[in-house]
Amino acid sequence: MSQPFRLATGGRIDRARPIAFRLDGRSLQGFAGDTLASALLANGIRLVARSFKRHRPRGICSCGPEEPNALLGVERGPGRFDPNSRATLVELVPGLAATSQNRWPSLRHDLGAIMDRAHAFLPAGFYYKTFFRPQGVWERLFEPAIRRMAGLGRAPDRPDPDRYLHRHAHCDLLVVGGGPAGLFAALLAGRAGARVLLCDEQPEPGGGLALAGGRAPGLDGGPAAAWLARILGELARLPEVTLLTRTTAQALHPSRHALLLERVADHRLEPDPRLPRERLWKVRPRAVLLATGRIERPLLFPDNDRPGIFLAGAARAYLARFAVPVGREVVVATTDDLAYAAALELAAAGVRVHAIVDPRPEPGPLARLAEAAGLPVLSGWTVTGSDGRLGLAAARLAPVGPDLRPIAARERTVPCDALLVSGGWTPSVHLLAQAGGRLAWEPECAAFLPAAAPERVAVAGAAAGAGTLAEALAQAAGAVAALLQELGAARPHEPAPAVDEPARAPSLPPWALEAVWRRDPTAAFVDLQNDVTAADLELALREGFHAVEHVKRYTTVGMATDQGKTLGPTALALVAAGTGRDPAELAPTTFRPPWTPLGFGALAGVARGDLFRPIRRTPLHEWAEARGAVFEDVGNWKRPTAFPGPGESLARAAARECRAVRTGVGVADASTLGKIDVQGPDALTFLERIYTVDLAGLAVGRCRYGLVLADDGTLLDDGVVSRLGPCHFQLSTTTGGAARTHAWLERWAQTEWPELRVWITPVTERWAVLAVQGPKARQLLRRAVSDVDLAARAFPHMAWRDARVGSVPVRLFRVSFTGELGFELNVPSSHAADVAETLFRLGPDLQPTPYGLEAMHVLRLEKGYILVGHETDGSITPLDLGLGRLLSTRKGFLGRRSLLLPEHRRPDRPRLVGLLPLDRERVPPPGGQLVADGKDPPSGPSLGHVTSSARSPALDRAIALALVRGDLAEPGRRLRVAAADSEPIPVEIAAPCFLDPEGARLRG
C-alpha cells in the first residue's frame, strides 16, 4: 500500500482514481479529491519545507489558507509553475510536480540548517544592525548572499500559457464563506427572492461542518451531513443563487466592492482548453454578509514548530475529508474544548491517543465524553516542549500550578508522531477591517471582534464571535433579515434549525501560559513563516519598539505571505503584556488586501500580449503596409516611420521621402490627428474663449492655426480650427492630445459655461487623412479630385472645400505641416485605401512618394514648427515659444491672464531657438543639455536643452530646436550640447526656422 496513512474507508476522496504526482522528483500517489497536503500526509510525509531564516524543518500544520509552513513550488506542465503555493489549497491533479523551497541540497540534508545554531547571532533587526556599512557592500555582497540563504521559491522563468479573466458581477447579497452560517444566510435570502452570490474558498461548501467528523453537531434532528446536503440541494434549485466554490474573497473595499478569485481550471483532472485558469470576480453587491469563520490558534511553547505538530481542527479535517489520520501515536494539547472532538474522532479511527493535556481545571462536557471513551484526559496539564530531529518524536508534558506555571519536576516525555494543538480560535475579521469596519477587543473571546460595520455590511457566525453553531445560525438569520430589510426586500421569517451540540467551556488564550514559553523564548515561535520568536518580540520591546506596527516592521512578525493568520493575535498579546497594557488598548495591525497571495496573471486578466493595450490601426494601415511601411508606436496607434525600399535604411528612406516632398509630392497618413466637431449657436463664442487666436473673422471655408492654453498659461495643444458653417467648426488636435483636448472642451462647456449652447463630438475616426504635400501636390490632386477649383486664388492656403474623389465625398483642407504647398484630404474611413491607391494610379509620372513620421518630423523641424510634447512639456508658454503673434489682444481666452504674471515675463524664461552645430554632421541628441561654450568638460548649470534634432536633407546639415535661457538666446551665441557618450557638440544659436522663413513655398 503506497499510502500508509490512508484509511481503507471514509473520506470524500475517490479511491478508484489514483493520481500520480511528485515531490522533489520522488514519485508518489494520492487520490482524486486530495489536496497536495493531504496526499503528502497520506504518504507519511511530514517534512515539506525549511524555515525562512533558520532553516528549521517544517511540516504541514493546518488544512486551509492560514498555512504558514507548507509552501511549495508547484508545476502543472511547461510554463505552469507557481512558487510558494500553500499545499493545503493545491488540489491534486495528474502529473503535478511539487518542489520544496529554501533548502540545499535537500530537505533532509539542508546545509542552511547551520543557521538555526547561529540563531543567537540573528536576532530581530539583525540586518538593520549589521549590514548598513560599508556603503555599497549591501547590494554587491550581503543582499545576494542573504537572498540565497533566506527566502521563498524561485519566480517562474517562462511565459504563463494560461488565460485569466475578470468578471463583473452584481447581486443583492454577497455571502462570503460557505460554512453553516453562510449557507443558511444564502438560503434565507434566496428564498426571499434576492439575487445571492455565495463564495467559498474550499472545493466543497460546508466550512467547519464539512470538515468535522463523527463529532459534528446534529442539525434538525439528524446528522450535519444530511442537513448540508438538503441546504445545498435547495440552493442549487434557487435560480437567483450562485454558489462559487474554490473562490476566495480577496478584498472588500469601501463602498462594498469585493474582489473574488475563482480557481477555475487548476483542479480539473481533464483539462478543458476553453476554460480560463482563474477568474477574478469584481462584485458590486448591494449588501454583504461576512461569514468568514475563524482560524484556530496554535499553542506557544518551546519548539512549537516541528513537523508533526498540527492544529487540532486540521487533524479533524484530514480525517473527515481525506481519510488521513495525521499520526498513529497522538498527543493532544489544548486550551479549548473542540480538540477533544479531534481526539475522539481519531481514536474512533483507530489512532492511539496517549494523552489529552489541558491546563484548564474544568474543561467542557466534550472532555467528559473523551474520558468516558477511555482517553487519558489530563486536566491541569499542558505541553511544555517537543523533541525530534526532522520531525516530532515526543511531546513534553507537565502539570501546571494554579498560577499556570509548569511544574518541571513532574514533566513527562511522551513519544508520539503527532501533536494536536489548540489554543482557541480567532474570528476572521480581515475583510470587515479592509472595508473600513471597526474592531474591538472582546475579553471573553480574547480576540478582536466586529464592533462597527460599514453600511450594509454584516458579520455573522464564528467570524462575529459565535461560540456555538446554534448562535452562528441565529446570527446569520438575524443579519440576513436586517440586510434584506435595508434593501427593501421581503423580510424572511425562518427559524434557525435546532442544533444538537455540547456546551463549551471558555477557552484559555495561548499567551496565558507565559511560564511555558519563557522556558526557551528563542524556540517559541510567534511567526512560523518568518521565523520570529517570543525572544525577538522581547528584544524589540527592550529596544523601545512599543507600537504594534513598529514591532511588526522591526521583527517582521505577521509580515510573511500568511500575514500571521494563526499566531498574529498571540504576538499582539505578547506585545501588550510586555508593555504592561491590555490587548484592548492596542489595535491590530492594519488588514490590507489581498486576504491571501494571488498571482499576477489573475490581476492582469486579459491585459497582456496583444491585449495589453489596444493596438489602433488607421484605415490606411494596410495601404501603408503594402507600400513597405515600417511602423512605430505613437500612443496606442501604429504609424509608419518610413517606407524603405529594398536594402534601404530607415534614415536613407526618410531622407529620400523628405526630398520628394520638397521637390515633388509626398503622401502621408495623417489619420491619427485628432478631429473634433463643434456645433451650436454659441460655438463661436465658446471657441473664442478656448483658442488664443481671433476666430470671429474666420469665414466659412477658411481655417486658422491656434493654440489651446491651460488657464495657467502653459500650452496644452495646438491645431487648426476650420469653419464648416456659421455655427459649425472642426478642430484638429495632435495625435496624443485628441482625448485630452476633447476632455478640456467638455469640461469648460459643461461646468463653467453651461449657458452656452454648444455640442462637442470627437470625429477622429470618421475620416482617414491623406496629407498630400509638395510643389506637385496640386497637380496630383487635380487628376483625382473633382467638384473643386484648386487654383491658388480660389483655394488659398488655410482654406477648406468639399470635393469628391470619384463618387466619394471628401473634405479637402489646404494646410501644411511641411512648409510646402500642401493639402490634407479627409476621406470617409472605409474608402481610405481605395482613394489612396487612386492617387498613386493617377500620378505615376509625378512619382508620388509615401512618407512617414520620420520625414514629417524633419520637414516640420526645418520649418521650426513646434510639436507639442517635444517643444513643450507642460511648463512652456506661447511666449517662451516666440508665438506671441498667436495671442489675441482683442478678447479673453483661457490662459491669457496668467501670461501677465511676473513669473511668465522673467527674462530668463526658456526661449525656443534654432541650433546649428558647428560640425554639420553632428546631430545633437534630443534632451541633450546645453552648457556654456569653452574647452572645459561640461559643468555648471544647464542653460537649456535640445527639444528636437535631425539631419536636414534640404540644408544638408544637422539642425536642432532647443529651449535656452531667454537672456542667452540671441542668434550667433555659441553653446555646447553635452553628449552622454562623446565630446560635447559645439552649436550656434539661430532663428528657429531654417527654411523659407517668408513662407513663399507654402502659399504657392
Judged by beta carbon, residue 146 or residue 165, the one nearer another protein is 165
Does residue 634 interact with another protein by CB under 8 A?
no
Judged by beta carbon, residue 501 or residue 677, the one nearer another protein is 677
Look-up: residue for cell 473633382?
786
> What is the number of other CB atoms lying within 10 angstroms of the CB of residue 9?
8
Give the chain's count of helices (H) and strands (E): 27, 50
Q: How far is the CB of 240 from another protein (least distance, A)?
A: 9
Which residues within the stretch 975-1004 sit at the binding site for another protein (CB under 8 A)? none
Which residues within the stretch 868-897 sit at the binding site for another protein (CB under 8 A)? 892, 896-897
One of 24, 234, 514, 712 touching another protein (CB under 8 A): 712
Judged by beta carbon, residue 231 or residue 265, the one nearer another protein is 265
378 contact partners, CB below 8 Å, separation of at least 6:
355, 356, 357, 358, 397, 399
Return phi, psi of residue 356, to 5°: -120, 110
Does residue 607 interact with another protein by CB under 8 A?
yes
Judged by beta carbon, residue 444 or residue 610, the one nearer another protein is 610
Look-up: residue for cell 491590555?
582
Look-up: residue for cell 476522496?
13
Does residue 833 interact with another protein by CB under 8 A?
yes
Which residues within the stretch 228-287 sit at the binding site for another protein (CB under 8 A)? 253-257, 272, 274-276, 282, 284
For every residue of 683-744, DSSP letters joined together read HHHHHHHHBSS--TTPPTTBEEEEEEE-TTS-EEEEEEEEEEETTEEEEEE-TTTHHHHHHH
Which residues within the stretch 720-749 sit at the binding site for another protein (CB under 8 A)? 743, 746-747
Cα separation, 292 vs 289, whole angstroms: 9
The SS3 assignment for 823 reads strand
The SS3 assignment for 332 reads strand
Q: How far is the CB of 754 from another protein (least distance, A)?
A: 6
Which strands form 14-23's sheet, in the order they lie side by side?
A: 26-32, 14-23, 97-99, 71-75, 81-86
Cα separation, 708 vs 760, whole angstroms: 16
Q: How far is the CB of 748 from another protein (least distance, A)?
A: 9
Judged by beta carbon, residue 322 or residue 729, the one nearer another protein is 729
Cα separation, 775 vs 819, whole angstroms: 10
Cα separation, 792 vs 810, whole angstroms: 19
Which residues within the stretch 70-109 sit at the binding site for another protein (CB under 8 A)? none
Per the document, the length of the chain is 1004
Query: Residues 125-164: x/- map of binding to another protein (CB under 8 A)?
Result: --------------------------------------x-
Which residues within the stretch 311-350 sit at the binding site for another protein (CB under 8 A)? none
Cα separation, 271 vs 161, whole angstroms: 13
One of 651, 763, 791, 991 touching another protein (CB under 8 A): 763
Residue ranges of alpha helices (H) inside 562-663 are 568-578, 600-604, 621-626, 650-663
Which residues within the stretch 382-441 sit at the binding site for another protein (CB under 8 A)? 436
Q: How far is the CB of 453 from another protein (least distance, A)?
A: 13
Which residues within the stretch 900-939 sit at the binding site for another protein (CB under 8 A)? 900-902
Q: How far is the CB of 930 from another protein (least distance, A)?
A: 30
Q: How far is the CB of 898 from another protein (least distance, A)?
A: 7
Does residue 752 interact with another protein by CB under 8 A?
yes
Judged by beta carbon, residue 274 or residue 542, the one nearer another protein is 274
Does residue 656 interact with another protein by CB under 8 A?
no
Judged by beta carbon, residue 275 or residue 630, the one nearer another protein is 275
Q: Residue 124's closest CA among 527, 592, 562?
A: 527
Judged by beta carbon, residue 278 or residue 862, the one nearer another protein is 278
What is Dmax (Cα atoms) for the chain? 115
Cα separation, 495 vs 13, whole angstroms: 34
Q: How far is the CB of 192 from another protein (least distance, A)?
A: 15
* Size of the residue set binding another protein (CB under 8 A): 72
Does residue 58 interact with another protein by CB under 8 A?
no
One of 191, 504, 553, 757 touching another protein (CB under 8 A): 757
Which residues within the stretch 434-453 sit at the binding site for another protein (CB under 8 A)? 436
391 contact partners, CB below 8 Å, separation of at least 6:
46, 47, 57, 59, 306, 307, 308, 417
Q: Which stretch binds another protein (CB under 8 A): 121-129, 804-812, 951-959, 982-990?
A: 804-812
Which residues within the stretch 664-683 sit at the binding site for another protein (CB under 8 A)? 677, 679-681
One of 195, 263, 656, 965 touching another protein (CB under 8 A): 195
Judged by beta carbon, residue 81 or residue 748, the one nearer another protein is 748
Q: Which stretch binds another protein (CB under 8 A): 51-59, 108-116, 615-623, 783-791?
A: 615-623
Residue ranges of alpha helices (H) inside 419-526 are 430-434, 469-486, 514-517
Q: How far is the CB of 165 from another protein (least distance, A)?
A: 5
- Residue 45 cell numbers, joined: 510525509
Which residues within the stretch 165-194 sit at the binding site for another protein (CB under 8 A)? 165-170
Q: How far is the CB of 680 from another protein (least distance, A)?
A: 6
One of 135, 807, 939, 982 touching another protein (CB under 8 A): 807
Q: How far is the CB of 762 from another protein (least distance, A)?
A: 8
- Residue 523 cell numbers, joined: 524556540
> What is the number of other CB atoms lying within 10 angstroms of the CB of residue 152?
17
- Residue 848 cell numbers, joined: 508620388
Does residue 617 interact with another protein by CB under 8 A?
yes
Cα separation, 677 vs 661, whole angstroms: 30
Q: How far is the CB of 170 from another protein (least distance, A)?
A: 4
Judged by beta carbon, residue 580 or residue 754, the one nearer another protein is 754
Return phi, psi of residue 779, to 5°: -55, -45
Does residue 791 interact with another protein by CB under 8 A?
no
Q: How far is the CB of 561 from another protein (least distance, A)?
A: 25
- Residue 107 cell numbers, joined: 530537505
Q: How far is the CB of 628 from another protein (least distance, A)?
A: 17
Judged by beta carbon, residue 439 or residue 513, the one nearer another protein is 439
Which residues within the stretch 26-55 sit at the binding site for another protein (CB under 8 A)? none
Return phi, psi of residue 193, to 5°: 95, 5
Judged by beta carbon, residue 272 or residue 444, the one nearer another protein is 272
Q: How far is the CB of 180 from another protein (least distance, A)?
A: 28
Q: How far is the CB of 309 from another protein (least distance, A)?
A: 41
- Residue 834 cell numbers, joined: 481605395
926 contact partners, CB below 8 Å, separation of at least 6:
870, 946, 947, 948, 949, 960
Does residue 614 interact with another protein by CB under 8 A?
yes
- Residue pair 705/886 in contact (Cβ under 8 Å)? The answer is yes
One of 205, 619, 666, 878 touching another protein (CB under 8 A): 619
Q: How far is the CB of 743 from another protein (least distance, A)?
A: 7
CA geometry: angle 295, 301, 302, nearest 5 deg: 130
Q: How far is the CB of 593 from another protein (least distance, A)?
A: 12
- What is the end-to-end Cα distance of the chain in Å, rounded? 96
Which residues within the stretch 636-655 sit at the binding site for another protein (CB under 8 A)? 637
Judged by beta carbon, residue 679 or residue 847, the one nearer another protein is 679
Q: How far is the CB of 571 from another protein (least distance, A)?
A: 28
Cα separation, 1002 vs 1004, whole angstroms: 6
